[in-house]
Amino acid sequence: MATISDVAKLAGVSVSTVSRIINNKPHVSPRKAALVADAMTKLGYSPLQAARQMRGSGSQTIAVTVPYITNPFFSELVAAIERTADERSYKTVIVQTFGQKSHELNALEFLKTNQVDAVIMCAIENDWDLIKQYSQYGLIGVCNEYVADPDVLMVHADQESGMYAGTKYLLNRGYRKLAFCTGQQDIRFNDNIEDLNSDRYRGYLRALREFDLEPSVEWQFTDVSTIADGQRVLQRIASMKDRPDAVIAGSDQVAAGIIAEAQTLQLKVPQELAVLGFDDQPLSQVVAQPLTTIHQPIHEIGDAIANMVADELEGDTIDTRQVIMPLSVVVRQSVA
């Protein structure tokens, strides 16, 4: 069956214009209205049928996918989504993917079986082309992570600028030997990829290069995301002959593990090693050296995507399909 995106493409207008026409909203030029009407006829697109399909079984349920619910960033994000969904009278079910493609597809299959009306993805494991096929069965929204697709409802933070600002902050404080931690398996980086990890790495590189620095391979830590991972990172750093003077932890969890292990090994934070967190979770205030970290507007992100998805499920016109929120450095005590 044709989708609203197909209609928009054939008519040569935006999805939001098609949506405005279907919902009889003002401010649509007669020329565009004619193009859309024509495209709808050609494609056999029926707004009513599409709406019924979009609303699924009327399960009034939204599934939210996260990699690991034990990561507080994701549990807070899900809680924010669910609070707003609840206000809008939608039930929420949370699906963990454990970072596995097959588990993510399980959640998307819930659309097909009408167990849910919409899926909000907080991370993305499969190729977008595959995921997108499920939009014929229901609505898919994306938050935190992002993809290059102008039709999809999407809310995320400006990861490139956030990591740039954090790295720049360390450089401006005099640090030059900056270690970098990431939760991903490998540092995938090329200029054509638009995703959270690539953008963060891009921000890190941009700041380094302003100071004529290049990243040191020895100080890049991959597949690092828990407190225990942070403890292991610090052990590796402590054993190095040439140690970094600061570490960009990639998450508050990892930063907390690094600081706890530094305390155990009597390595002084921030005097011997500065630690920069990411997320600004409640945890960041209870570690031995409260974290200087990058604040993510978790509640605003969750609230925005839940409202956008509920609006679309209810047939409202959505003028802004993609929202990007700023990140900021929060200064506490883990950087001198």
Q: Are 144 and 166 in contact (CB under 8 A)?
A: no
**Binding residue for a copy of itself (CB under 8 A) from 13, 62, 247, 260?**
260
Stretch that binds a copy of itself, among 36-44, 48-56, 253-261, 313-321 (CB under 8 A): 253-261
Stretch that binds a copy of itself, among 12-20, 63-71, 142-150, 313-321 (CB under 8 A): 63-71
Determine the Cα–Cα distance for residues 121 and 246; give it in Å rounded to an integer. Answer: 33
Q: Are 181 and 188 in contact (CB under 8 A)?
A: no
Query: Which residue's entry shows tokens 């019924």?
Result: 52
Query: Residues 277-316: x/- map of binding to a copy of itself (CB under 8 A)?
Result: -----xx-xxxx-x--------------------------
Category of 32 on φ-ψ map: left (φ > 0), alpha (ψ -120 to 50) or beta:
alpha
Biggest alpha carbon–alpha carbon distance for the chain: 73
Determine the Cα–Cα distance for residues 208 and 210; give it in Å rounded to an integer. Answer: 5
Could you say whether residue 91 binds a copy of itself (CB under 8 A)?
Answer: yes
Query: Which residue's entry shows tokens 């454990």?
Result: 98
| Residue 130, C-beta contacts closer than 8 angstroms, at least 6 positions apart | none
**Binding residue for a copy of itself (CB under 8 A) from 16, 17, 92, 135?**
92
**Residue among 14, 330, 305 at smallest CA distance from 157:** 305
Could you say whether residue 256 binds a copy of itself (CB under 8 A)?
Answer: yes
Between 61 and 167, CB nearer to a copy of itself: 61
- Tally the residues of the chain: 336
* Residue 142: Cβ within 10 Å count: 24
Q: How far is the CB of 10 from a copy of itself (least distance, A)?
A: 36
Q: How far is the CB of 84 from a copy of itself (least distance, A)?
A: 13
Helix (H, G, I), strand (E, B) or coil at 154: strand
**Binding residue for a copy of itself (CB under 8 A) from 7, 94, 140, 205?**
94
Distance of CA 155 to the CA centre of its chain: 8
Return the residues of window 123-162 that contact a copy of itself according to CB under 8 A.
Answer: none
**Binding residue for a copy of itself (CB under 8 A) from 106, 126, 220, 317?**
106
Could you say whether residue 68 binds a copy of itself (CB under 8 A)?
Answer: yes
**Interface residue list for a copy of itself (CB under 8 A):** 59, 61, 63, 68-70, 72, 75-76, 78-79, 82, 86, 91-96, 98, 103, 106, 113, 115, 226-228, 256-257, 259-260, 282-283, 285-288, 290
